[in-house]
C-alpha cells in the first residue's frame, strides 16, 4: 500500500469523521480506530484483487458511507443511556453534598461550644476547682478550641460568694422585719 501516508484517503476520511463526531475522548478514539482498521482491511483485500492502492482505498471508503452520515448514526445516542448518565451525575452531586454536610456536622459537634463545655466539665481542673490559673485553652481539648466557655475557678468562686452574700442579706432583711 504505497499510497498510505498522512494524506492518504483513509486518513482524510478518519479526520472528517472525527470532525463530525460528537463523542469525545476514549469513545472518539475507539470509533476512529475501529473504522480505520475496517477501511484498511477492506482496501487491502481489494488490493489483492489487483486494484491499485489509492483506488482500493477510495472504493473501501465508498462502500463504508459518507463520514457525516456515519457520524450522525454514532451521534444518535439512545435516550436510555443519556438518562443513565444524568442519573449518575445527580447521584454524584448528592454524594458530594452529603459528604460536605456530614463533615460540617461532625466539625460542629467536635468544636462547638456545647461539646467543648461537655468535655470541659470532665476536666479535673474544672471539677476540683484547683487554684491553677484558668487557661484560655481548655486542658481537655487544647488545640481544638481557642476559648473556654466555662468560667475560671476563681470566677466561679467569686460568683458563688456573691450569691451567698445576696442570700445572707435577704435573710437578714427578713429577720429584721417586725
Partner 1 sequence: MGQSEVQGHLDAMLLAVLQGTPLHGYALLEELRRRSGGKFDLAEGTIYPALHRLEGSGLLSSRWEVVDGRRRRVYAISSRGRQAAGEQIESWRRFSRAIEAVLSPVTETRP
* Whole-number Å distance between alpha carbons of 119 and 149: 11
Residue closer to partner 1 by CB (options 53, 64) is: 64
Residues 77-96 that bind partner 1 (CB under 8 A): 77-78, 80-81
Q: How far is the CB of 60 from partner 1 (least distance, A)?
A: 8
Nearest to partner 1 of 17, 138 (CB atom): 17
30 counts as binding partner 1 under rule CB under 8 A: yes
Going along 30-172, which residue ranges are E strands?
A: none
From the centroid of its chain, how far is CA 88?
A: 13
Rounded distance, CA 163 to CA 120, Å? 23
Q: How many CA atoms lie within 13 A of 42 on its CB side?
A: 18
Residues 109-168 touching partner 1, rule: CB under 8 A, are: none
Binder among 10, 14, 31, 140 for partner 1 (CB under 8 A): 31
Closest by alpha carbon to 141, among 105, 160, 117? Answer: 117
Residues within the interface to partner 1 (CB under 8 A): 30-31, 33-35, 37-38, 40-42, 63-65, 69-70, 73-74, 76-78, 80-81
Amino acid at each position: 500500500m504505497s499510497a498510505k501516508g498522512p494524506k492518504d484517503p483513509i486518513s482524510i476520511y478518519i479526520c472528517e469523521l472525527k470532525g463530525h463526531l460528537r463523542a469525545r475522548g476514549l469513545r472518539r478514539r475507539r470509533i476512529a480506530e475501529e473504522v480505520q482498521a475496517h477501511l484498511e482491511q477492506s482496501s487491502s483485500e481489494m488490493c489483492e484483487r489487483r486494484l491499485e492502492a489509492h483506488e482500493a482505498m477510495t472504493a473501501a471508503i465508498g462502500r463504508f458511507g459518507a463520514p457525516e452520515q456515519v457520524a450522525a448514526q454514532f451521534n444518535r445516542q439512545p435516550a436510555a443511556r443519556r438518562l443513565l448518565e444524568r442519573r449518575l451525575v445527580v447521584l454524584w452531586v448528592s454524594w458530594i453534598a452529603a459528604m460536605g454536610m456530614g463533615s460540617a456536622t461532625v466539625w460542629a459537634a467536635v468544636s462547638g461550644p456545647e461539646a467543648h463545655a461537655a468535655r470541659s466539665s470532665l476536666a479535673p481542673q474544672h471539677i476540683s476547682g484547683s487554684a491553677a490559673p484558668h487557661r484560655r485553652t481548655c486542658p481537655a481539648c487544647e488545640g481544638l478550641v481557642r476559648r473556654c466557655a466555662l468560667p475560671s475557678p476563681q470566677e466561679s468562686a467569686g460568683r458563688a460568694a456573691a450569691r451567698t452574700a445576696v442570700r445572707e442579706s435577704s435573710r437578714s432583711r427578713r429577720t429584721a422585719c417586725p
